[in-house]
Amino acid sequence: MAGHSKWANIQHRKKAQDNKRGKVFTKVIREITVATKLAGADINSNSRLRLALSKANSANVPKDTIERAIKKASGQSDENYEEITYEGYGPKGVAIIIECLTDNKNRTVSEVRNVLSKNGGSLGTKGSVAHLFRRVGVMKIERMKEDDLFDHMDSVELLDIEQVENGCIIITNSSELFNTKKYFETHGFNICDEEIIMDPQTQVDVPNEDKEKVLSLSSKIEELDDVQNVYMNVSII
C-alpha cells in the first residue's frame, strides 16, 4: 500500500473513540436500531446489522443491551433516525466527511456548523469533497503475510493491501466486505477487525503546528451525539 498507512489512521480514530466509551455505546446502539428498522433482525440477510453487531462486540457492548435494542427496533419503536452526511473543510483546507444519525436534522446541522466554524473549519455544500473519498470495506486478517494473499487473488477482489504487525490489512469494495470475510474465514483465517469507511483517495500533509488543530476539530465533531463517523483526507500519524 503506497503512501500513508490507512490502518494507522483507522486505529488512531478507534483509540480516540475508545476514550469516549459511553458515547461509543450510544452511537453503536443507534446504528443497530437503524439497521434493524431498515432491513429486519435477520443478520443473514441484513449486512448492515451484521457490521453494527461486529462493532458492538468490539466495543464490548453488553449482550443484553444489544438484544434490547434489536427487540425494540423490531417492534418499530417511536425512535426514528435520519441518515445525513455533511461535507466540510478543516484547517489548511483538509476535507471532512461527517456521517450522522439524527432525529432532528436542524439541531444536528447547527451543532456541526458551530463546531466547524469555531475551530478553523467551514461547512461545505453537498458534493464539495465527497469526490475525494471512496466507500470501501477494510479488515485485518491475523497472522497473514502479504505473500500469502497471492494464493487467493483469483478468488476475491481486493483494492489494496497493507502489511502490519501481526497480520495483513485488505481493502475491498464495501459491497464485497461480508463475502470476502466469509471466504477467508472458510479458509482458516481469523478476521479480528472489520468496518466500512470513507477512504480518502489521497492524503494531504499538514504542518506539525496545525496537526493538533486538525485532531482537536476531529475530536470535537466526534463528541456530538448525532455524529457516527468522521473522516478526513489527512494523515494524523
Q: How far is the CA of 46 from the CAs of 36, 39, 133, 183, in angstroms?
A: 8, 6, 25, 18
Q: How far is the CA of 159 from the CAs of 63, 95, 162, 199, 201, in angstroms?
A: 34, 22, 11, 11, 12
Q: For the residues 169-185, what does the mean pLDDT come to?
A: 93
Q: Is this prediction's pTM over 0.75?
A: yes
Q: For the residues 98-115, what does the mean pLDDT come to?
A: 97
At 3, the pLDDT band (50, 70, 90 cuts) reads very low
Q: What is the CATH number of domain 132-200?
A: 3.30.70.980
Q: Are 192 and 178 in contact (CB under 8 A)?
A: no
Question: What is the pairing mode between strands 167-173 and 160-164?
Answer: antiparallel
pLDDT tens-digit series, residues 42-55: 998 999 999 999 98
pLDDT at 6 > cutoff 90: no
pLDDT at 10 > cutoff 90: no
The architecture of the domain spanning 6-74 is Orthogonal Bundle (1.10)
**Which region, left, alpha or beta, applies to residue 60 given φ > 0 means left and ψ of -120 to 50 means alpha?**
left
% of the chain surpassing 90 pLDDT? 63
- Grid cell digits, residue 214: 486538525
Q: Are 85 and 75 in contact (CB under 8 A)?
A: no
CATH 3.30.70.980 fits 82-131+202-232, yes or no: yes
At 76, the pLDDT band (50, 70, 90 cuts) reads low
At 12, the pLDDT band (50, 70, 90 cuts) reads low
Domain boundaries, the chain: 6-74, 82-131+202-232, 132-200
pLDDT tens-digit series, residues 123-141: 999 999 999 999 999 999 9
Fold agreement between 6-74 and 82-131+202-232: no
Q: Which residue has the cell 461480508?
A: 178
At 237, the pLDDT band (50, 70, 90 cuts) reads low
Q: Which residue has the cell 497472522?
A: 143
* Region of poorest pLDDT, from 102-106, 139-143, 145-149: 145-149
